[in-house]
Amino acid sequence: MTLWTSAEVAAATGGTANAEFEVSGVTFDSREVGPGDLFLAMVGETTDGHRYLDQAFEAGAAGALVSVPTPHPHVLVPDTMKALEALGIAARARMQGKVVGVTGSVGKTGTKEALFAALDRLEPGFAHRSVKSYNNHTGVPLSLARMPRDTRFGVFEMGMNHAGELAVLTRFVRPHVAMVTTIAPAHMGFFDSEAAIADAKGEIFQGLEPGGTGVIPHDSPYRDRLIAAAAGHAGRIVTFGMGEGADVRAIEAMRTRTGGTFVTARLGRRELSFTVALPGAHWVSNALGVLAVIDALGGDLERTGLALAELGGLPGRGQRFLTPVVGGEALVIDESYNANPASMRATLDVLRQESGRKLAVLGEMRELGDHSDAFHAELAGPIAAAGVEFAVLVGPLMKPLANALEGHIDFVHVPDAASARDRLFERLAADDAVLVKGSNGVRLSSVVAALSERQTCSI
């Protein structure tokens, strides 16, 4: 199916086409180019996409968006970054369906995937979402530009680490429903307080379509602050959570034998019982937010419950698998993509509920600024509560935690992921459960990859 014609790209970006072509996909990474793609020759501080034009066309690109003339089929523009934004805006303008925007300090990618799974059940083949964690100033317009013209539901993740960034992104997305998952001390190196983070997340409501709905975590200490941020932009505000008074509330939550949670939720006078396949109290909260969004869209809540029951973990964000060890197998919980104090506590609580000996490979949490030492040291309590018997602490920022754990549990403090892998493999045994989690820059995904190479099955 044609995503864009050269004439449409030129019209959207104000550029000039040197040939007629049609594209079925859009990418700015030459390594991801496939047959029929539009390759965006982005110019950055350290690289220039124009150097990869030959490689992109050898891989099957049908056309390119360039700021320097090339013999290849292209649309020439003054600035490819601004052209990408314009293409995203044009994609949103031609889309006649409903759009959801998701942000939050924790859980936005998983919630985005859960929403997509639910909406794809409502309109199979006509739901679209941002892939990976494409949630910044380039990822959001790219995700919009990739949206098929006949999309009926679009779900877009939006992130930030500075005030003002979400205000820009949400005006690209123009959501009919905007959701905040939770507020936590992520990116504290760029903010004076968690309240300032809440204010920055609340910018998502500025892009709401007229009459749109704001979906807000009821149990957050910043609930009223978020409600105030939404009040001037939303036609309706819905809260979700466990606490009394939430518009979408869990009145019962019981852990299942498979590690998920059986939930009975109340939405006004309605009740819905369903299973959340992914483990942890944070996933119960995410699921309630998903119900609130789907209800605001007028969707089928029963089908949403089925989607939540079948939802699997994502690589780096809760995916589980068994890896063979001497005498049997060990469970691996892959949370290696990112970490902040709130997500560390949540996933350590998930580990607590597993059987067998509990191990944790924990990478340092970055972008916490002057609060870094305190936040790292405070993980000692959740680690003890989880029953961790052996921990591998990775990176120099973990020194305060190492000091706090001294004399309390068995641990090692290592400089990098390679050392962490080696020390874990020395200790991993049959029936162990191991959590791997840290900031993405620590590269703990390499530890997971080493465990996955001998994987026996996903669960």
Task: Say whether both 74 and 102 belong to one domain.
Answer: no
Task: Say whether both 351 and 387 belong to one domain.
Answer: yes
| DSSP conformation class of 267 | E
Percent of the chain predicted with pLDDT > 70: 99
Tell me the three state secondary structure of residue 388.
Answer: strand
Task: Say whether both 74 and 106 belong to one domain.
Answer: no
Taking a C-beta distance cutoff of 8 angstroms, is the pair 394, 438 a contact? yes
Task: Say whether both 69 and 127 belong to one domain.
Answer: no
Residue 229 belongs to some domain of the structure: yes
b (16+ CB within 10 A) / e for 398-420: bebbbebbeeeeebbbbeebeeb
Residue keyed to tokens 């990112």 = 338
Domain that holds residue 41: 4-80
Which tens digit of pLDDT belongs to each residue from 108-166? Answer: 999 999 999 999 999 999 999 998 778 899 999 999 999 999 999 999 999 998 899 99
pTM above 0.95, yes or no: no
Q: Into how many domains does the chain fold? A: 3
Task: Say whether both 398 and 342 belong to one domain.
Answer: yes
Residue 231 belongs to some domain of the structure: yes
The pLDDT mean for the chain works out to 95
Task: Say whether both 355 and 407 belong to one domain.
Answer: yes
Q: Which of 310, 342, 375 finishes a domain?
A: 310
CB half-sphere exposure, 352, CA atoms < 13 A:
16
The encoded tokens of residue 120 equal 């794809």
Task: Say whether both 292 and 147 belong to one domain.
Answer: yes
Report the distance separating Cα 332 and Cα 313, nearest Å: 12
Q: Which of 56, 80, 104 finishes a domain?
A: 80
Say what the pLDDT of residue 459 is: 64
Say what the pLDDT of residue 454 is: 74
Report the distance separating Cα 135 and Cα 413, nearest Å: 33
Domain CATH for 390? 3.90.190.20
Q: Which of 280, 310, 340 finishes a domain?
A: 310
Task: Tell me how far apart the terminal alpha carbons of the chain are, to the nearest angstrom.
Answer: 35
Residue 85 belongs to some domain of the structure: no
Report the distance separating Cα 126 and Cα 151, nearest Å: 5
Which tens digit of pLDDT belongs to each residue from 204-243? Answer: 999 999 999 999 999 999 999 999 999 999 999 999 999 9
Task: Say whether both 197 and 51 belong to one domain.
Answer: no
Q: Name the pLDDT band for 309 (thresholds 50, 70, 90).
A: very high
